[in-house]
Copies of this chain bind each other. A is one copy, B any other.
């Protein structure tokens, strides 16, 4: 099973996903790339979302850095990273959420995540090119993003901060990326702190999104994809044996408790006590919880060699390839109804670009190849 999975993931990555983006998304006029692409790659939204731009730089550069340089990947990464360098930051040092096609400002979101994706982009680009501006900028933004997470009022949001699983993932991810280009103990200390903080999110065997009172919906919010993602990230952050076992257990529970027994697939959001979730889209099936569960299962299998993980991987893989993959035009659909019907034909948007699918395929290939 493992060998045929690896072969299939390689075909999907190099023959379907990468070509879709190279063929349809690059803006040859202004630089950067479009993510507002419909099923066949046609453009329905010309804005450039900074999260997505940063993620694509990271992904193209990571492909070069880990599978071998290709000129067209490097050129795509360069076009996008230079677009970001020119237009992403505001005069006050914060980061735009979205830009117009030509780089002029569109929208500022009072959240730290646009800055986070710049850190990923600049770190991986520096790893590829050694251009020193990107290391300096990644270091500076690393510090700022951590400050913005610690004090949301710096971006104009109400305080005090709530401990969010997503923020732990962001901090661990930044530290992991920077450590590989900027060996410094502070990154190890920050990763160790993330490993400690995540334990406080566990309630009744589930990693919940927020540490908040249980009588409020946000205190009961459970996102299986987010729990799987933070799990596989932290497994890369040098956990102790006990931390490792805890994380693997949390991933198993996220996948098993998040699975829809009636229609298959992982729910997007759930209430840990079965009460009504606050988000209308909660019961939908989104592509990214499935890509994260694929990586997490492959990672857990590579550590434990327990065949239960291949069973989980097989279950998620069948659902994901059966519902999201698009053999006609390439890349994956992002959004299905609860019953598995594709509910929106987009291949990209403000939150879906060249990132989750290729990252999951690349990481799963690397993890399974190693076994």
Contacts and interface: CB of A to CB of B under 8 A. Distances in A.
A193 interface: no
Interface residues of A, number: 34
A346 to B, nearest CB: 4
B276 A344 contact: yes
A335 interface: yes
Contacts of A344: 276-277, 280, 282-283
A276 B345 contact: yes
B45 A346 contact: no
A217 interface: yes
A158 B107 contact: yes
Interface string A335-349: 101110101111001
A38 B275 contact: yes
A127 interface: no
Given A47-B216, A278-B349, A337 B335 contact: no
A45 B273 CA distance: 13
Q: How many copies does the complex hold?
A: 2
A189 interface: no
Interface in A304-345: 335, 337-339, 341, 343-345
A339 B341 CA distance: 10
Given A44-B271, A283-B344, A337-B337, 19 more contacts: A36-B217, A44-B217, A44-B276, A45-B217, A46-B216, A47-B216, A107-B158, A108-B158, A276-B344, A276-B349, A280-B280, A280-B335, A281-B281, A282-B343, A282-B344, A283-B337, A283-B343, A338-B341, A339-B341
Interface of A: 36, 38, 44-47, 107-108, 156, 158, 215-217, 271, 275-278, 280-284, 335, 337-339, 341, 343-346, 349-350
